[in-house]
Amino acid sequence: MGPRSLRYSLFNLVSQTFAGNRGWTPAWRKPAPKPAYDVVIVGGGGHGLATAYYLAKQHGISNVAVVEKGYLGSGNVGRNTTIVRSNYLLPENIAFYERSLKLWEGLAQELNFNTMVSQRGVINVYHSDPQRNAYVRRGNAMRLSGADAELLSRDQVRELLPFADFDNARFPIRGALMQRRGGTVRHDAVAWGYARAADAQGVDIIENCEVTGISIEQGRVRGVQTTRGFIGAGKLGLAVAGNSSHVAALAGLRLPIESHVIQAFVSEGLKPLIDNVVTFGAGHFYVSQSDKGGLVFGGDLDGYNSYAQRGNLPVVEDVAEGACALFPNLARLRILRNWGGIIDMTMDGSPIIDKTGIGGLYFNGGWCYGGFKATPASGASFAHLIAKDEPDALIRPFRLDRFARGAILDEKGMGAQPNLH
């Protein structure tokens, strides 16, 4: 068991001030891998770290390693645009993402880490009667499943976003669907907070350790080959997001997942301008403002398969056009940074959390471009699956074989075309 790092509290802040700040300990240890663990989780992103935390916290299984090929947070957990919400249409998805939203609401206290949960409201604007009907239906579905949803009139949207272009020739704003409990969470803090809390329970977080092979004997997992040697595993959980197909192939699995690139952008700092998260689905643009003042925004997938963590100029242009169509006052905005992340697109746009046909091998992935908001619920449910060897009610629909059975969760009604979800 690792030494518990000093609790973050006003008392410790004051007492450390007088003690010259010499009592603080690193947020997590840097242990060398042990020969074997009860459970090894591959992938030190949000989902892998949350799984390890809940395995220890809720199931008393702390002889656990999280094996990460880079540094902690180098994957999509540190690359996303930080939006959390549960504004889905299908009851299976709403229930799951609503559980996640509830866990976000208490996460800072649970982890003793300031995850900067900001429930500033998520606004989806609409531009036509058919789109309004679709949002009414979505809002009603959300309310029936216990999530909050409100339909805003054009005037109500104008009060929140007075500078938006309400009379755009192609996309005039007619109203919006709003989820007030949605918002943003600081992505890095989620990785660091779960890592620190898991480490305090005795979980070994092993960075710079790439899994290069999965050892299977008589239909059961025995461990993983890594760049830091062989690590034995009683059970093995894969939570590698954009690298899912590649890592699952090490166990001979072929997944209904494709990897695509999606980009994010951060602008120069502005005075407070956009109080909420605004999404403009018809033009593929969404935006929020960080506490430092930068606008954080993105748009559509780059639209081709890739494992490169960078995007291309046509999508940069498309996102800029979307931004200016909605908010003409952004035309002179300067971009400070942009980057890409590899995302694991399933054929129906919904995730997979399930056992595999191999004993002791469990899979978590297919998060598409929306898996950050799923992190707490995914970790809790994946930990349950690994500990009990059976899915809890929330993830039962997220089976690996649902495509073969025709039980798909086609949230967007786009059919089996991953680049459209």
Ligand X SMILES: Cc1cc2nc3c(=O)[nH]c(=O)nc-3n(C[C@H](O)[C@H](O)[C@H](O)COP(=O)(O)OP(=O)(O)OC[C@H]3O[C@@H](n4cnc5c(N)ncnc54)[C@H](O)[C@@H]3O)c2cc1C
Residues that bind ligand X (CB under 6 A): 42-48, 67-70, 74-77, 79-83, 210-211, 239-243, 247, 262-264, 298, 341, 343, 367, 369-373
Alpha carbon 83 to its chain centroid, in Å, reads 9
Facing residues of 39 across strands? 64, 235
Alpha-carbon torsion angle 83, 87, 89, 94, nearest 10: 90
Residue placing its CB nearer to ligand X in the complex, 24 or 241 = 241
Contact between 50 and 191 (Cβ < 8 Å): no
The nearer residue to ligand X, 161 or 209, going by C-beta atoms, is 209
Give the three-class secondary structure for 58.
helix
Nearest distance from residue 202's CB to ligand X, in Å?
20
Rounded to whole angstroms, how far apart are CA atoms 143 and 132? 16
CB 369 within 8 A of CB 85: no
Q: What whole-number distance in Å separates Cα of residue 25 and Cα of residue 145?
A: 43
**CB-nearer residue toward ligand X: 19 or 308:** 308
Give the residue with the Cβ less far from ligand X, 216 or 240. Answer: 240
Q: In this structure, what are the phi and psi dihedrals at residue 286, rounded to the nearest 5 degrees?
A: -145, 150
By Cβ distance, which residue is nearest to ligand X? 45
Cα(120)–Cα(61) distance, rounded to whole angstroms? Answer: 36
d(CA 99, CA 374): 9
Give min distance, CB of 7 to ligand X, in A: 26
Spatial separation of the C-alpha atoms in residues 194 and 47, rounded to whole Å? 10
**Minimum distance from CB of 125 to ligand X (Å)?**
17
Minimum distance of ligand X from residue 213's CB (angstroms): 10
Q: State the minimum distance, in angstroms, from the CB of residue 129 to ligand X.
A: 28
- Closest approach, Cβ 82 to ligand X, in A, equals 6
Nearer to ligand X, 171 or 265 (CB): 265
User: How does DSSP assign 313-372, residue by residue?
Assistant: HHHHHHHHHHHHHH-GGGTTPPEEEEEEEEEEEESSS--EEEE-SSBTEEEEE--TT--S
Question: Least distance in Å: CB of 289 to ligand X?
Answer: 14
Instruction: Return the number of the residue (42 or 380) whose C-beta is nearest ligand X.
Output: 42
Q: How far apart are CB 343 and ligand X at their closest, in Å?
A: 5
- Identify which of residues 165 and 188 has a Cβ nearer to ligand X in the complex: 188
- Angle of helix 46-59 relative to helix 187-200, nearest 10 degrees? 30
Nearer to ligand X, 301 or 333 (CB): 301
